[in-house]
Amino acid sequence: MVIPSLAEPRSGRRLEGRHVIVFGAGTADAVEKRLSLCRESDKVFGVGKATALVYARHGAVVSCVDINLEDASRTADLIRREGGQALALACDATLSDSVMDCVERSLAYNGRIDVLHNNIGIARTGGPVECPEDSFGQVIAVNVKSIFLTCKWTLPVMERQGSGSIVNISSFAANRYTVPWISYAASKGAVNSMTMSIAAQYAAKGIRCNAIAPGLLSTPMVQVAHKDNHAGLADMMRSRADSVPMRWQGEGGTLVRTQHSLHRMTHDSSLGRYSPWTVAVRS
């Protein structure tokens, strides 16, 4: 798919003046190189990179955070090339001090944090028997603890402001079986539970918390996670597409089409004070 340029019609710059912090905005291009994929760059966009771009296209200032500064910088550069405003930050979101430092630097850059977007996620396959214990722990740390930590350090900022919105990226895997990936399914179930819990606790303080549960998307993260379970990349792509009723997966850039959902979740006037909801981007 082609990511539309800033010049193309859009539904307005309703996030003008807002500051969004996107954790997991990098999508390592290095992944693409490792897999020797010859694809147009837009097709290997991960969700985080596409999301950061969409926020910027709607006027938001974006802090692009990733474990790898080079990758975060690539996304921030892309935003700046389109005329947007962005800061790149390195952070290991499984470490409390690292997240705290990142939130402080982001705050110093813009003075407020209107939206916390938790995109970080990794997937490892294997059921309870096949999944090594350390792999289980790693997935829970990256997919669950990272959200706990980003919320821990961002919620006080939003509370002081009296407003804020948190968007957590969950997965259809929380509710539907596709392949044995016990750690991933458990982690996304936890994301949904944390979302509901935070939404209820902070509703009266003007802070909203919602989750998006995408279906199958062909992104670099998935290509790495699943490639060993198939005869090759083409086989993996075919098999994943075949498991979707419409016979095709989305791509990272598919999230561009969910701008409306992001607007609804991040625009103050759009939702009631307590309305945790889940959007199936593609199933």
Ligand X SMILES: NC(=O)c1ccc[n+]([C@@H]2O[C@H](COP(=O)([O-])OP(=O)(O)OC[C@H]3O[C@@H](n4cnc5c(N)ncnc54)[C@H](O)[C@@H]3O)[C@@H](O)[C@H]2O)c1
Stretch that binds ligand X, among 6-14, 119-127, 149-157, 269-277 (CB under 6 A): 119-127
- Cα–Cα dist 223/236, whole Å: 8
- Cα–Cα dist 103/133, whole Å: 31
Q: For residue 251, state whether it binds ligand X (rule: CB under 6 A).
A: no
Stretch that binds ligand X, among 11-19, 91-99, 230-238, 257-265 (CB under 6 A): 91-99
Residue ranges in 25-84 that form contacts with ligand X under rule CB under 6 A: 26-28, 46-48, 66-68, 71
CB of 119 to ligand X, least distance (A): 5
Quick one: how far is CA 203 from the chain centroid?
A: 22
Please identify the residue of the shown chain whose CB is closest to the bound ligand X: 46
Handedness of CA 124, 128, 129, 132 (dihedral sign): positive
- Closest to ligand X by CB, 79 vs 142, is 142
Q: Can 55 be counted among the known catalytic residues? A: no
52, two tokens: 């950061």
- Closest to ligand X by CB, 21 vs 216, is 216
Task: Assess contact for 209 and 193: CB atoms under 8 A.
Answer: no
Q: For residue 253, state whether it binds ligand X (rule: CB under 6 A).
A: no
CB of 185 to ligand X, least distance (A): 11
- Closest to ligand X by CB, 165 vs 223, is 223
Q: For residue 114, state whether it binds ligand X (rule: CB under 6 A).
A: no
- Closest to ligand X by CB, 14 vs 142, is 142
H or E stretch covering 34: helix 29-34
CA distances from 70 to 60, 98, 193, 279 (A): 22, 17, 33, 31
Give strand pairing partners of 88: 64
Q: For residue 167, state whether it binds ligand X (rule: CB under 6 A).
A: no
Please tell me what DSSP assigns to residue 253: G
Handedness of CA 191, 148, 224, 222 (dihedral sign): positive
Task: Provide the annotated active-site residues.
Answer: 184
Residues found near ligand X in the complex (CB under 6 A): 24, 26-28, 46-48, 66-68, 71, 91-94, 119-122, 142, 146, 169, 171, 214, 216-217, 219-222, 252
